[in-house]
Amino acid sequence: MYSIRLDGDVRRLMKKLKHLENVDVRGASLTLAEALRTSTRERFKDEKSPEGRPWTKSIRAIRENGTTLTDSAGLKNSIKSTADGSGFAVGTNKIYARTHQFGEDGRKITIRAKTSKGLVFQVGGRWIRKKQVTVNIDIPARPFLGISEEDMREIKGTLEDIISED
């Protein structure tokens, strides 16, 4: 068991501590989760990591004069948040999100045909049919999940507002 001895006028401190008992932690978590979900989705428009570094333009975005990671907006639209009295989380359930967040550096994968007709693709103007192909995956990291300095200021400000309410 621990005890703390406080000397002097501690009424203000005790009032503040009493107020903390009444803080709506779930409500605060919901507010923070939505703020981070919104800022995460904004990164797709800005094409920047939480640290503010620009994403490497994708081949498709260059070719089509489009935006990286937003061809169909499936990844951006999959960003969800959840919150309860113990905290909050922001993320996605898209299986390819990990690849875009962290990148792939030369990993080999084998693609197998789903039908007996095989895979059909064009290489150098010639059509080729194969039952399977092995390819190297080299995709740069384009982090979209994380907490930026601006996010951190918003978290701090929100928590200060909640704690200072009388």
Give residue-wise pLDDT tens across range 94-104: 999 999 999 99
CB contact at 8 A, 49 and 146? yes
CA angle centred on 124, ends 121 and 126, rounded to 5°:
55
Of residues 145 and 107, more confidently modeled:
145
CA 122 to chain centre: 35
pTM: 0.75
What is the per-residue burial (b if ≥16 Cβ within 10 Å, else e) of 100-115?
bbebeeeeeeeeeeee
Task: Give residue-wise pLDDT tens across range 28-61.
Answer: 999 999 999 999 999 999 999 999 999 999 999 9
